[in-house]
Amino acid sequence: MRNSPFQRQRTSEASTKHGMYKSRPYWIWSSMVERCRNPKCASYRYYGARGIRVAREWIGRGGFEAFWRHASATYRDNLSLDRIDPFGDYEPGNIRWIPLTDQASNQTSTVFIDTPKGRLCVTHAAREFGIPRRTLRNRLSRNVTSDRLFDPIDVKKRPLGYNAG
């Protein structure tokens, strides 16, 4: 039983002073460090390979405690860690906790459009104007003019058997 996985886990748990080894915040911190520092991590190409780093004080021994001192005040279980500047590092002043739905619109692949209500991603614009996202995407791909882009759907023009769901 010497040096078994169970023994290594117990040793690791015993050596952590914060008592949060299996908590969600610890997993988020560990994942953040992994994707920025480990070239073998599947997400490394989106983070570390692009030059995104983790603050020096948040790495290694005492790293989680330093991160948690900074990030714990606004943490909630239903929120996700986000970088305010998507091209910036994970560091004090550039992280926040936001809902997953908001974080999904912060991806580099997200398409933003100018609307009468300001610059919004396609998903939020569709929701704001009460039209299906698919309809808005179709209108954008067909280069519908901006004065008609957010028009409500004319139910009479829908094909027979159309399901909006």
Q: Are residues 87 and 151 in the same domain?
A: no
Exposure of 84 by Cβ count < 10 A (0-12 exposed, 13-18 middle, 19+ buried)? exposed
Q: Are residues 75 and 134 in the same domain?
A: no
**The total number of structural domains that make up the chain:** 2
pLDDT digits (tens, 9 = 90+) for 23-35: 999 999 999 999 9
**Whole-structure pTM over 0.85, yes or no?**
no
The C-alpha atoms of residue 108 and residue 3 are separated, in whole angstroms, by 43
pLDDT digits (tens, 9 = 90+) for 152-162: 887 666 666 65
Expressed as residue numbers, the domain containing 143 is 112-157
Closest residue by Cα to residue 153 from 137, 138, 132: 132
Q: Are residues 15 and 47 in the same domain?
A: yes
Exposure of 45 by Cβ count < 10 A (0-12 exposed, 13-18 middle, 19+ buried)? exposed
Closest residue by Cα to residue 128 from 62, 59, 120, 43: 120
